[in-house]
Structure 1
């Protein structure tokens, strides 16, 4: 999927520490980019209260396919869309693009289950978050 398949983007500035000894961004950082674009969206658009809210999202599944290397310095445009929206869970598709590139350097999926903060049992996705997620469903 190219850039046009993602309705939401977050530019993420690469840091010196993201590179490994091979001169490219280390694979573990890609998952950090996934977490960043998803949680930034949930907090800013969906109103998720990560510090005191009754509901939190837990990652239950994630996967990354590497297509091309990224390297410092630069900016990663992290694309996000929802591919499946359930009662208490959501599956995101993510694309990591070099700044201005049409084809992704990596693609991934990430599944959140929304749970009660205390009980850690699945709960329906809160309405404001659901509305935000519906806005990027593709």
Structure 2
């Protein structure tokens, strides 16, 4: 039986970076970062990048990205009190959707070169004008311009 899952991502697989500070309350009773916190970090990395790149409140655009899919692969534990570096890359920009990968890194040296987790995050753009149901709609040009520089083929075979 062959294993066709992508390997553990490396720092070189990502284009843009953010840092998140961990908090005492982020750890669960098992002494490591609670799984719900990973999804919060993934969502924040994507939306903070969009906010900064667009230069305005993305919630007020005529089309907004809603989460259609989110998942996380775990490779090694993380937790308080160490900062987490979040790498961001785009795998695909479609007509109405964007597929992101977010790598979560903690540590330095050789240990810090490999992701401790990686999230997949899919935004589908929907109408935000209030003119009817929130049906899918083309990605706004300002958002497309913000995500195209993040588009990149994986360096280590991660997808």
Instruction: State TM-score, norm by structure 2.
Output: 0.82
Give 3-state SS (helix, strand or coil) of 2:113's partner: coil
Q: Residues 24-35 of structure 1 correspond to what in structure 2 (within 5 A)?
A: 24-35=32-43
The CA deviation string for residues 9-57 of structure 1, in whole angstroms up to 9 with x for no partner, is 1000001110111111001100000011000001111345344332211
Unaligned runs of 5+ in 2: 1-8, 153-159
Pairing partner for 2:52 from 44, 54, 61 = 44
Unaligned runs of 5+ in 1: none
| Structure 2 partner of 1:129 | 143
Between structure 1 and structure 2, the one with the greater Rg is 2
The CA deviation string for residues 60-114 of structure 1, in whole angstroms up to 9 with x for no partner, is 0111011111110011101110001101100001100004310001012110001
User: What count of residue pairs does the alignment treat as equivalent?
Assistant: 138
Displacement over 3 Å in runs of 4+? none
| Structure 2 partner of 1:68 | 76
More strand by share: 1
Maintained 8 Å contact 1:47/1:129: no
**Residues 46-55 or 25-34, more deviating:** 46-55
Provide the C-alpha distance between the structure 1 equivalents of 2:22 and 2:56, rounded to a whole number of angstroms: 25
Pairing partner for 1:86 from 61, 85, 94 = 94
| Structure 2 partner of 1:54 | 62
Instruction: State TM-score, norm by structure 1.
Output: 0.94
How big is the alpha-carbon RMSD for the aligned residues of Structure 1 and Structure 2?
1.2
More helix by share: 2
